[in-house]
Amino acid sequence: MTELARNPRTMQKVREEIRSCVGNKKFAVEDDLPRLKYLKLVLKEVMRLHPPAVLLLPRETVGHFNLFGYDVDPKTRVHINVWAIGRDPSMWKDPEEFVPERFENSPIDYSGNHFELLPFGAGRRGCPGISMGMAMIELALTNVLHSFDWELPQGMTEGDVSMEEGAGLTIPKKVPLTLLPVTPFYKTDA
């Protein structure tokens, strides 16, 4: 929601997609999710810039190998910094910018098959809950955006929204996001 608050055109575009797919139903359901293509682009971009954790769980090498000219011995503990990968200018054009369209017509996803985007790890030791977790995030965000228009508190601009992140195993926002719900979208039959 923070990235959407900072990028109101993106919020409007994803909201329009949601409302055209969900229609006048009071709530979105899981069956609505496959049609929300732009929402999926937005979530990939969010996971690129704001992965759930900075580092993947450590791994230990099983044999000697050479990596970019460095000799790596067996039993070396390796940490993968997914936060840095998501902001690496050699992998991403304008890596600090929030641009969901960068994933349009791209095979890159967050399931661990592409080194450029590893928010949940990869391989046998990747997060087993990716599918369920992402479905829950998609459904929650879809309903939040479907049910209300959202705006910043009076006097606050998009540039005032803090993107500062805290420290820890996960990456919490340092300053909580404050948004105001505006008139509900759906009409209930009285």
Q: What is the pLDDT along the chain (190 residues), one digit of tens a residue?
A: 999 999 999 999 999 999 999 998 989 999 999 999 999 999 999 999 999 988 988 889 999 999 899 999 999 999 999 999 999 999 999 999 999 999 999 999 988 889 999 999 988 888 899 999 999 999 999 999 999 899 999 989 999 999 998 887 788 889 989 999 887 666 554 4
pLDDT value of position 97? 97
The span from the CA of 72 to the CA of 182, in Å, is 56
Residue that is written with structure tokens 């067996």 in the block: 74
Separation between Cα atoms, residue 25 and residue 135, nearest integer Å: 19
Whether the full predicted model's pTM is greater than 0.85, yes or no, is yes
Could you tell me which of 188, 186, 190 has the C-alpha nearest to residue 28?
A: 186
Asked whether the beta carbons of 185 and 19 are under 8 A apart, the reply is yes
Place of tokens 């230990």: 60
Task: Delineate the domains of the chain, giving CATH numbers in brackets.
Answer: 2-184 (1.10.630.10)
Angle at 112 between CA 107 and CA 114, to 5 degrees: 45
- 127 has binding-site annotation: yes
